[in-house]
Amino acid sequence: MASAPFIDLVAPNGVKYAQPTGLFINNEFLLSADGSSVDSIDPATEEKIATVQAASVADVDNAVKAARKALKGPSWKLLSASDRGALLYKLADLIEENRELFATIDAWDNGKTYLEALENDLVEAVGVIRYYAGWADKVFGQTISTTHQKFAYTIRQPVGVVAQIIPWNYPLSMATWKLGPALACGNTVVLKTAEQTPLSILVLGTLVKKAGFPPGVVNFLNGLGNVTGSVLVSHPLVDKVAFTGSTATASAIMGAAAKTLKNISLETGGKSPLIVFEDAEMEQAVKWSHLGIMSNQGQICTATSRILVHERVYDEFLAKFLETTKSTSKVGNQWGKDTYQGPQVSKAQYQRVLDYVNIGKGEGATLAFGGEPLNINSNGKGLYVSPTVFTNVSPSMRIWQEEVFGPFVVISKFADEDQAVALANDTTYGLGAAVFTTNLERAHRVAAEIEAGMVWVNSSQDCDPRVPFGGVKQSGIGRELGEAGLEAYTQIKAIHVNMGNRL
C-alpha cells in the first residue's frame, strides 16, 4: 500500500505543522485502497482544513490483520507489563510536549475554544495516559485455595484485537480514554476517528511511532460510520468493540457484534438532570448548572440539560441563570480569548439544534432565551447558534426527553423531593445527574435514588481519570476510567492445579 502525504498547514492562530493524511496502519500512513477520503471542515468558517484518507473494506481488513499479528508478535506479547507502562508514560510525555499543537488542531477541527482544548482536553488526555501507564504492571490475578491437594489461580489476559470508535466532541481525549486502558492491559487496537474530527488522532499516530510502540499495536482509521465503522465492528478477527457515541449507533453496533458474540462496552447519550433544592447555595447552583450545559458548545454527553428547580426558588434561579447566560456565553470563533462558546461542530449539528428550537416552540414550551442562528462572520458563514433556554416544559415533550447535544437547556419546577426524583428518572437515559442542596442527608439520599452512572453533589461535569465513568439504562454498558476501566480490556482465565497425585 502506498504512503499518504503529510501536508503543511498553518492554523488560524499561526501554529504551523505537518498534518498526516493517511490511514495509520503498522506505524505507517497509507493511502486508502479505493481512493476514498473525508474532508475536515473548520466550523467557524465552513472552509476545508484538509482531506484525509478513508478506510475501505480492504483497509479495515489490513488494519485488523496488522493488529492481530502484533497481538501475537513477540515485541508486544513478550514485552513486560512494566515496559508497556513505560511506553505509555513516553506517549503521555510526548502529548504533553505537543499540547499547544493538539489544542490548536482540536479547536480548529471541532470548533471548541482553544483555551478549553488546552486547559481541559489536553490536561485530561495526558492525565489519562499517565494514569493507565501506572496500572500496566498492577493488573493481577488471584490465588484461590480450594481443597487440601488443589488450588486455583487466575490470570488477567488481554481481550485481543479491540475496535474502538470515538465521537467528535473531545477528539483527542476520547481517544486517550480508550487507548490508555486497552494498551495497559496488552491489547492491540484499531481505532476509528469521528469523520468530523480526524486530524489530531492522526498526529497522535506520529507520537505512537515515536514513543516506540511496535508496528500494528495501534492503528487509526478515518472514515464514515456506516462504511468504515460498520465494517470494523463486523470484522471476524475483532474480539471486542468499545464505542462512544449516540445510543442509536450503539444499538446498531450491538446488533453487528452479536453475530460473532464480540465483547462490547458502550458509552452513549444522555439527558442528564440537575436538581436544585430550596436550600441550595444559589450562586453555586447557577454557576455549575450554566457550565453543565453551556460549556464545550453544549456538546457534552453528560451535559446537565434538564434543570429541575424547587418551586420556592424557581423564579430566583431562572432570573440568575438567564443573567449568567447573557453575560457569560459569548459566542465567537475558537481563537478569541473571551469566547465562551464556539461554533457547532458540523452543519448537521447546527441544524439539529435549530430543529429542536422549532420542536420546542411547536410543543408549546416558552423560549426564554436564544434559539437563533448567529451571524458572526461578515460573509454569513460559520455554524453558530445562540445558547438556548426553554421553560414551561413538561415530561411529555420531546425537548424534555431527547438529547439535543448543543447549548440547549430545559428548565422546570418541582414541589417536593419525591417529585424531583421521579422527574429526574423519567427518561430512557441514565448517564450523569447533579444535586444541589446544603442538606447532607438529602444529598446522599437523592444521589442514591437517581438512576445514573454518575452523580455530582453541588457540582457538575467533574471528571477524573481515577473515577469510573459510564451510564445505566440506555446510556451505556460498562465503565471507562478508574480501576473499573480495566475490566473492559482484560479477561480472567482460571487455572486449576492439582499439587499431588493421590486424589
Q: Can you give the binding site for ligand NAD, defined by CB under 6 A?
A: 165-169, 192, 194-195, 225-226, 229-230, 233, 244-246, 249, 252-253, 267-270, 301, 403, 405, 431, 471, 476
- Three-state SS for 132? helix
Alpha-helical segments (H) within 223-305? 230-234, 247-258, 282-294
Question: Minimum distance between the CB of residue 350 and ligand NAD, rounded to whole angstroms?
Answer: 13
The 3-state DSSP class for residue 250 equals helix
Considering the complex, what minimum distance in angstroms separates the CB of residue 462 from ligand NAD?
A: 14
For residue 391 the three cell numbers come to 421553560
Euclidean distance between CA atoms 481 and 382, whole angstroms: 35
> Which is closer to ligand NAD, CB of 225 or CB of 387?
225
Smallest distance from ligand NAD to CB 166, Å: 6
Distances (CA, A) of 448 to 45, 50, 485: 45, 47, 22
- 301 as an active site residue: the answer is yes
Give the shortest CB-466-to-ligand NAD separation in angstroms. Answer: 17
Say how many CA atoms lie within 13 Å of 61 toward its Cβ: 5
Q: Least Å distance between CB 287 and ligand NAD?
A: 23
Nearer to ligand NAD, 79 or 116 (CB): 116
- Quickly tell me which residue has 489461580 as its cell: 153
**Non-local CB neighbours of 271 within 8 Å, separated by 6+ positions:** 305, 306, 400, 401, 402, 403, 427, 429
Question: In the block, which residue shows the cell 471507562?
Answer: 480
- How far is it, in rounded angstroms, from Cα 141 to Cα 78? 18
Distance, CA of 242 to CA of 489 (rounded, Å) = 9
**384, 344 Cβ separation under 8 angstroms:** yes
Which residue out of 116, 301, 449, 480 is catalytically annotated? 301
Closer to ligand NAD by CB, 84 or 192: give it.
Answer: 192
DSSP sequence for 406-447: SSEEEEEEESSHHHHHHHHH-SS--SEEEEE-S-HHHHHHHH
CA-based R_g, the chain, Å: 24
Which residue's CB is nearer to ligand NAD, number 169 or number 388? 169
Spatial distance between the Cα atoms of 397 and 390, rounded to a whole number of angstroms: 11
Amino acid at 394: S
Amino acid at 277: F
As measured in angstroms, the least distance from the Cβ of 490 to ligand NAD is 20
267 carries an active-site annotation: yes
Q: Which residue is nearest to ligand NAD (CB)?
A: 225
Strands (E) located in 35-75: 37-42, 47-53
Minimum distance, C-beta of residue 246 to ligand NAD, in the bound complex (Å): 3
Four-CA torsion 183, 186, 189, 191, nearest 10 degrees: -30
Q: Are strands 454-457 and 388-391 parallel, antiparallel or unpaired?
A: unpaired
For ligand NAD, the closer CB: 3 or 428 = 428
Nearer to ligand NAD, 182 or 318 (CB): 182
Q: How far is the CB of 125 from ligand NAD (least distance, A)?
A: 14
Cβ proximity to ligand NAD, 165 vs 423, nearer residue? 165
Closer residue to ligand NAD in complex, CB, 376/463: 463
**Annotated active-site positions, please?**
267, 301
